[in-house]
Amino acid sequence: MADGYRTVAGESFHETEVNRSRFLCALAPVGDEEAAGAFVARARAAHPTASHTCWAYVLGADASVQRSSDDGEPGGTAGLPMLQMLLRREVRFTIAVVTRWFGGTKLGAGGLIRAYGGAVGAALDAAGTVTRHRLRLASVTVGHERAGRLENELRAGGYAVRGVDYGAEVTIGVALPADRTEAFRAWLAGATAGAARLDLGGETWTAPA
């Protein structure tokens, strides 16, 4: 699995015009197909007089889910070039919806491909992207006599401390770069003279800055 991916930070809109046809591209980060479908539905509802509402999205850090729709445009001239632009820009967990208002001049297959793909590319240029990194959740359990110093060392070392629970022992929740868990295990053993216990949990991703 990839240890990082690029996506858009939030919803954005960018309009282009080709031979009097308007192309409004809406971008948004989405976590699953249900969210993608809801975003398309909102775009349709917002622009009921549009000629076409075409869309494409890529889900999964490894781009495992790819979907697109031409919404009545000639096959392969809208959704596919939109999808290809998302993949070319290496963005993930992202949906693009391009709403078109026909301007009276037919663009032809090549013109449509350039217009729809270009609309997504221009919108990505305007919006910019952010990178999210894969993190491994973990808990560090240590005695009270070492807990305060260890927490300070974790924070000073740039580790994300997610919480501290005080009981018979102290458990410190941390989030580690996914590719550094073994290095962290070795560091922890040295920092506590082997007195701390490390338990690895699930995974998450950093939030866009």
CA atoms of 157 and 152, how far apart (whole Å): 8
Left (φ > 0), alpha (ψ -120 to 50) or beta: where does 96 sit? beta
One domain for residues 63 and 147: no
One domain for residues 142 and 120: no
Q: Which SS3 state, helix, strand or coil, does residue 26 take?
A: strand
Q: Is the pLDDT of residue 207 over 80?
A: no
Q: Which of 128, 159, 193 is the last residue of a domain?
A: 128
Q: How confident is the model at residue 208 (pLDDT cuts 50, 70, 90)?
A: low
What is residue 3's predicted lDDT score, i.e. its pLDDT?
78
Name the residue range of residue 92's domain. 4-128
Q: Which residues contact 126 (CB under 8 A, 6 or more apart)?
A: 12, 14
This prediction has a pTM of: 0.79
One domain for residues 45 and 67: yes
C-alpha distance from residue 119 to each of 6, 130, 138 (Å): 19, 20, 42
One domain for residues 115 and 142: no
Q: Is the pLDDT of residue 209 over 70?
A: no
Q: Show the beta-strand stretches assigned E in 102-181.
A: 130-142, 160-166, 170-177
Q: Which of 128, 149, 183 is the last residue of a domain?
A: 128
| Overall domain count for the chain | 2
Give tens-digit pLDDT for 148-204: 999 999 999 888 899 999 999 999 999 998 888 999 999 999 999 999 999 999 988
User: Which two structure tokens, joined as six digits, stand for 66?
Assistant: 């790819």
One domain for residues 115 and 17: yes
Q: Which of 95, 128, 161 is the last residue of a domain?
A: 128
CATH of the domain at 95: 3.30.230.30
* Among the listed residues 133, 135, 150, the one whose alpha carbon sits nearest the alpha carbon of residue 194: 150
Give tens-digit pLDDT for 29-69: 999 999 999 999 999 999 999 999 999 999 999 999 999 99
Q: Is the pLDDT of residue 1 over 70?
A: no
Contact predicate 16/25, CB 8 Å: yes
One domain for residues 30 and 103: yes
One domain for residues 28 and 54: yes
CATH of the domain at 154: 3.30.70.240
One domain for residues 103 and 147: no
One domain for residues 33 and 66: yes
Q: Is the pLDDT of residue 2 over 80?
A: no
Q: Which residue has the tokens 């005080």?
A: 166
Give tens-digit pLDDT for 90-148: 999 999 999 999 999 999 999 999 999 999 999 999 999 999 988 999 999 999 999 99
What is residue 198's predicted lDDT score, i.e. its pLDDT?
95
